[in-house]
Amino acid sequence: MTLEYETLTISRRARFVVQVEFNRPAVMNAINTQTGRDMVTFLQRVKEEDVRAIILTGTGAKAFSAGGDLKERNGMSNAAWLAQHALFEEMTVRLLECPVPVIAAVNGVAFGGGCELALACDFIYAAASARFALTETRLGIMPGGGGTQNLPRAVGMRRAKELIFSATPFSAEQAERWGMVNRVFPDETLLAEAIAAATRIAANAPLSVMQAKKSINAGAGTDLRTALLIEIEAYKRLVLSEDRHEGVRAFNEKRPADFKGV
């Protein structure tokens, strides 16, 4: 990753593993217009880089992201608000459709749009001190970054309605118990655990992981019979790959596979 970003810090944490940090700690990593631009640019470039897994987190110990930057939005015209939100919509869609797995490492507050971005990742690891909330109804708006769709899919419709309607914060432990967070770790080990998980993913055949992700995501929105057809189509594409041959050779030769992504 060679580009410099105004609101993001990009770092290589292991072979094929990139960490992306929201880097506005003075405002609890609130998402402003430039954050949206930076995220869209980064996600556009993922296919061009040698990346097989991404960790999304926040700079500092207090926040993953506190959500939309309300100081920037104060006094914003209707037209400017909608234009900004269109950018945020593109950011969310690109994150959801990112071809490689994205792990959210939630290291503190994840409120509003910050919570929605975590939900848009493939799965979530959280620090014990992390707090979540979809707070938009307190501001005269509603979740508009996938929150009304991704939260019910994670915790169930009735619980999601309660959380969204009331804008009630909840803990990492609650989020894990409800199925939104995969695992909760001590604050000081969160990133190490996320890096370890990303490294395990990146060691596998990248085409296999990407096709599995596409199959899971596409199949979740349809009936089982159609979903099975989606899975088989994804599987058949891997039969033609060189990585399929390499995986079988490596197994029989009792050595680690050297996957090339072809």
Among residues 21, 49, 136, 193, which one is catalytic?
A: 136
Side-chain half-sphere of 21: how many Cα atoms within 13 Å?
Answer: 18
Domains of the chain, earliest start first:
8-202 (3.90.226.10), 206-252 (1.10.12.10)
Among residues 116, 176, 188, 253, which one is catalytic?
A: 116
**The predicted structure's pLDDT at residue 47:** 82
Q: Mean pLDDT throughout 242-249?
A: 96
Query: Which of the four pLDDT bands, split at 50, 70 and 90, describes residue 209?
Result: very high
Side-chain half-sphere of 206: how many Cα atoms within 13 Å?
Answer: 19
116 among known catalytic residues: yes
**The predicted structure's pLDDT at residue 48:** 83
**The predicted structure's pLDDT at residue 239:** 96
Give the pLDDT confidence of 2-45 residue by residue, as tens digits: 568 999 999 999 999 999 999 999 999 999 999 999 999 999 99
Give the pLDDT confidence of 121-148 residue by residue, as tens digits: 999 999 999 999 999 999 999 999 999 9
Strand pairing of 123-127 and 170-171?
Answer: unpaired
pLDDT at 1 over 80: no
Q: Mean pLDDT throughout 186-197?
A: 98
CB within 8 Å of 176: residues ≥ 6 apart: 126, 182, 183, 184
**The predicted structure's pLDDT at residue 73:** 95
**CA–CA separation, 163 vs 150, rounded Å?**
13
Strand pairing of 123-127 and 183-185?
Answer: parallel
pLDDT at 190 over 70: yes
CB within 8 Å of 205: residues ≥ 6 apart: 238, 241, 243, 244, 246, 247, 257, 259, 261
**The predicted structure's pLDDT at residue 182:** 98
Output the pTM of the full model: 0.95
**The predicted structure's pLDDT at residue 2:** 56
**CA–CA separation, 211 vs 219, rounded Å?**
12
162 among known catalytic residues: no
List the structure tokens of 138.
Answer: 């307190």
Give the pLDDT confidence of 213-232 residue by residue, as tens digits: 999 999 998 999 999 999 99
Give the pLDDT confidence of 51-106 residue by residue, as tens digits: 999 999 999 989 999 999 999 999 999 999 999 999 999 999 999 999 999 999 99
CB within 8 Å of 125: residues ≥ 6 apart: 103, 104, 105, 106, 181, 182, 183, 184, 185, 190, 193, 194, 197
